[in-house]
Structure 1
């Protein structure tokens, strides 16, 4: 396609005069009919990569997304821009409303759905009646990161492409090593020579990298409080435990004058939506969260991201710290590390496999699937899709070995004495760079040195109409 026409659409639809790095190359590949894997930094404007081609192509764009909140945010943005042809398919749509929506899918330009929803035969049948010109898999690293031990429906995307007659496929992510990129391509049923890869550096030069070594939990808590009081501005603190995220929110609200809130998957949808909106508007300055918080959060002035617990992989870590400093200004990423912290994520990697004979009995219908234990839905998924117990065991064994290796690499990062930026770049197969004062090994007393000047923001009140109206819209969608 003529590049001039692409720029015309950029100005007409989105009001921009130029593309961010990597956007034009991705769009040109899509418009040339190539399956494309785009690995672009967090905040790199990935939604434009399927929206702009969607307007230039006949038919509909189907976007597979991992979170309802992420889909809702994208649909809201399209609606605010005047696009009425955007819809979100969720499991909360029932009865006549569901039938009516499925019968009219061809009237929509952008259809958002979770991988779980797309395993429904009725939904797939309805999509087969629609001209799907572009299949977009957002946060594509989830294909490699989650299957097989969490949300295995991601493994069915290969079959979905077949059912939809192999539309041009766009895979989007912010971080992926060579091994993960190969895994993504393989699991959607493609080969390397069938995919154009557009990759840009994971490096965010405006984010200072640090690890604070603490002797015990008490010292870690004291250091956290010191950092929050000195850093100022908006920030996110990540925890591995919902309970501790709640506990630290209560404690920080008594110890500081900062508005602190909790966010995790154990909260109601309404509460999570409210907290997210208050954080976006600067009414809440600090979020104590689990990894459930972050995808789709496009807030420019997050100044720091602190990990109270060690992340389980460098991939996840780079994804999460990439939420800081999207405005290009100086920001900070810190891990508070106590020796032995890696034991918690190590324990979380263990999935207890049921005995092979029990899985065989369930597969033959002789025993109820609930006898498979607390994770019975996960195991029954594989058995229903004709995996043998031995295949299930091998898949989980490979997955555990790989995740333990990722955790070990993360542990090596926090214990390393080399430049932290170079460590990350080398892990992602990128050349190292020379950057002064980029991590705590080059500026040990970075907090006292004022690497991030303290900022005092006014706390604008979020009008009740503002978020209540958007919350009402979300609840109405769930109701329908």
Structure 2
């Protein structure tokens, strides 16, 4: 790790006022924190690494922000796998936040140089970056190594950290280089790794790649969701597209009757083919643009439009590869 230390204050266990932290969270975020969220925050305020093994939708993201309530100048930097996820988190953030990606840099007044300068100067409390940016030497020199940034950085976060194990290697090799990100942070800055998917072999990989401390605090909250079930449909037509025709209900009379559905495919060719077939089968009243395809060859502007229309419910069926929301 870097030998330079951040200047934020770290506390002993008895020095943290949990009631104040709870009240401040309610004041800033409008919700009362769970005990496990307070425990995660206390661990970070003590300078300890944290493993957040918490189900989707339970409130992991708020744990990235709560440690910043200790001081109006503290910052955190979050490594996120998907552009769409970063943009959503920035959009809903209660604290000043910025996502660093191709899309936001192009739109930023003054471009990349001005964005990086604003980050260093503390205009944003939360900075969301991709693994590729986290390991990029230009970003390190422009942001991570700057004295003012290092003075006020409170914590680093690896969100969806299971991707270290699942995506590292030939797909997105920068995941296996995230130790560089850890090493470029000040030596006393704790790291939080968060995921809803931490089986033992994945967690072992994350511990190694991210150089987590042996005494890292492990917080686990069940992701059991009684309203979610797993089902399997038998393929009746071999390799033809007919087996996905069911996603447009026979009795649908209006767009809202068609459930919003994402269909994942392994190839761009299959993706385009399935979208074409579904548009062919769609009833006359169903707009063709309510069925869309999304893959690596779709341009950034069109991807952004599809994501926006999907959120609005205008796209009901999205046939896609795992490029959905991927960093660009």
TM-score category, normalised to shorter length: 0.7 to 0.9
1:114-148 C-alpha deviation (Å, 9 max, x unpaired): 22223333321332221321101111111111222
Q: How far off is 1:282 after superposition?
A: 1.2
Q: How far off is 1:216 after superposition?
A: 4.0
The corresponding residue for 1:137 is 158
Distance 1:101 1:227 in 2: 43
1:48-68 C-alpha deviation (Å, 9 max, x unpaired): 110222233552111112222
Distance 2:102 2:308 in 1: 24
Distance 2:70 2:92 in 1: 19
The corresponding residue for 1:118 is 134
Kindly tell me: are residues 53 and 295 of structure 1, through their superposed partners in 2, closer, same or farther at Cα, counting changes over 3 Å? farther
The corresponding residue for 2:242 is 222
Distance 2:298 2:230 in 1: 31
Residue 185 (structure 2) pairs with residue 174 (structure 1):
no
The corresponding residue for 1:238 is 264
The corresponding residue for 2:278 is 252
Distance 1:221 1:97 in 2: 45
Kindly tell me: are residues 100 and 5 of structure 1, through their superposed partners in 2, closer, same or farther at Cα, counting changes over 3 Å? same
Kindly tell me: are residues 151 and 223 of structure 1, through their superposed partners in 2, closer, same or farther at Cα, counting changes over 3 Å? closer
Distance 1:269 1:144 in 2: 27
Residue 302 (structure 2) pairs with residue 276 (structure 1):
no
The corresponding residue for 1:5 is 20
Distance 1:273 1:98 in 2: 20
Distance 2:258 2:306 in 1: 19
Q: How far off is 1:76 after superposition?
A: 2.4
Asked if structure 1 preserves the Cα contact closer than 8 Å seen for 2:261 and 2:316, the reply is yes
The corresponding residue for 2:253 is none
Q: How far off is 1:35 after superposition?
A: 0.6
The corresponding residue for 2:317 is 286
Kindly tell me: are residues 275 and 189 of structure 1, through their superposed partners in 2, closer, same or farther at Cα, counting changes over 3 Å? same
Kindly tell me: are residues 122 and 272 of structure 1, through their superposed partners in 2, closer, same or farther at Cα, counting changes over 3 Å? closer
Asked if structure 2 preserves the Cα contact closer than 8 Å seen for 1:42 and 1:174, the reply is yes
Distance 1:223 1:77 in 2: 38
**Gaps in structure 1 of 5+ consecutive residues:** 297-477
1:351-401 C-alpha deviation (Å, 9 max, x unpaired): xxxxxxxxxxxxxxxxxxxxxxxxxxxxxxxxxxxxxxxxxxxxxxxxxxx
The corresponding residue for 1:127 is 144
Distance 2:306 2:44 in 1: 36
Q: How far off is 1:72 after superposition?
A: 2.1
1:280-303 C-alpha deviation (Å, 9 max, x unpaired): 11112121122222689xxxxxxx
Equivalent in 294, 298, 301 of residue 267 of structure 1: 298
Distance 2:33 2:63 in 1: 13
Kindly tell me: are residues 212 and 10 of structure 1, through their superposed partners in 2, closer, same or farther at Cα, counting changes over 3 Å? same
Distance 1:265 1:205 in 2: 35
* TM-score, with length taken from structure 1: 0.55
The corresponding residue for 2:254 is none
Structure number with higher relative contact order (C-alpha < 8 Å, ≥ 6 residues apart): 2
Equivalent positions of 1:29-108 (< 5 A) are 29-57=43-71, 58-78=73-93, 81=94, 83=95, 85-90=96-101, 93=105, 97-104=111-118, 105-107=120-122, 108=124
Asked if structure 2 preserves the Cα contact closer than 8 Å seen for 1:54 and 1:61, the reply is yes
Asked if structure 1 preserves the Cα contact closer than 8 Å seen for 2:135 and 2:177, the reply is yes
Q: How many equivalent pairs are there?
A: 290
The corresponding residue for 2:180 is 159
Kindly tell me: are residues 214 and 120 of structure 1, through their superposed partners in 2, closer, same or farther at Cα, counting changes over 3 Å? closer
Q: How far off is 1:43 after superposition?
A: 2.1
Equivalent positions of 1:296-445 (< 5 A) are none
Q: How far off is 1:255 after superposition?
A: 1.1
Distance 2:36 2:236 in 1: 43
The worse-fitting range, judged by mean Cα deviation, of 263-272 and 52-61 is 52-61
Distance 2:243 2:136 in 1: 49
1:405-443 C-alpha deviation (Å, 9 max, x unpaired): xxxxxxxxxxxxxxxxxxxxxxxxxxxxxxxxxxxxxxx
RMSD of aligned residue pairs (Cα, Å): 2.7
